């Protein structure tokens, strides 16, 4: 792994792989400081672009808030990151409409995007 990739152990989010699927667990996100949000974004961009990752999943919790400025950030930064990593599938896991709201703000030409209620459903989709 590259040295400039942020270490998840230093932040309030986690990263793991399931085969060739990278999973960013940001369940505790309820309005993190910019530094933490930028770190997970940078980690996604750098780690997701490595050859062993063909799909990515972001897992959100019930504390996730999507004020207009957050939706704007996602539309710009996460769309750019998704294009940069070049994966085939990008999934979002959240209860209720949060996942759908996130998906609707992200555009990545060439990648299939979807939202799910459970990580298990997202993994089955990403690995198919």
Q: What is the CATH number of the domain that holds 107?
A: 3.30.750
Strands (E), 44-98: 55-60, 89-93
Residue 1, in any domain of the structure: no
Q: Residue 2: its pLDDT value, please?
A: 53
Residue 3, in any domain of the structure: no
Mean model confidence pLDDT for the chain: 87
Among 21, 36, 32, 7, CA closest to 90: 21
Residue range 11-23: mean pLDDT, rounded: 93
Q: Residue 26: its pLDDT value, please?
A: 87
Q: Residue 97: its pLDDT value, please?
A: 80
Residue indicated by tokens 């369940």: 27
Tell me what percent of the residues of the chain surpass a pLDDT of 70: 91
State pLDDT tens for residues 49-99: 999 999 999 998 877 777 777 778 777 888 999 999 999 999 999 888 878
88 Cβ neighbours under 8 A, 6+ residues apart: 54, 55, 111, 112
For the ranges 5-19, 29-43, 66-80, 86-100, which has the lowest average pLDDT?
A: 29-43
Distance CA 78, CA 109 (A): 12
Residue 22, in any domain of the structure: yes
Residue range 98-116: mean pLDDT, rounded: 91
Q: How many domains does the chain have?
A: 1
Q: How many C-beta neighbours within 10 Å does residue 20 have?
A: 14
Residue 2, in any domain of the structure: no
Q: Residue 78: its pLDDT value, please?
A: 85
Residue 89, domain extent = 8-126
Is the pLDDT at 103 greater than 80, yes or no? yes
């Amino acid at each position: 792994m590259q040295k400039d990739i942020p270490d998840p152990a230093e932040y309030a989010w986690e990263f793991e792989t399931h085969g060739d699927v990278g999973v960013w667990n940001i369940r505790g996100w309820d309005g993190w400081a910019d530094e933490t949000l930028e770190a997970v974004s940078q980690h996604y961009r750098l780690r997701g672009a490595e050859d062993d990752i063909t799909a990515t999943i972001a897992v959100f919790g019930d504390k996730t808030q999507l004020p207009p400025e957050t939706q704007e950030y996602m539309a710009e930064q996460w769309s750019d990151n998704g294009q940069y990593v070049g994966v085939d599938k990008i999934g979002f896991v959240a209860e209720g409409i949060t996942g759908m709201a996130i998906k609707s703000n992200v555009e990545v030409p060439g990648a299939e995007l979807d939202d799910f209620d459970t990580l298990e459903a997202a993994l089955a989709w990403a690995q198919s």
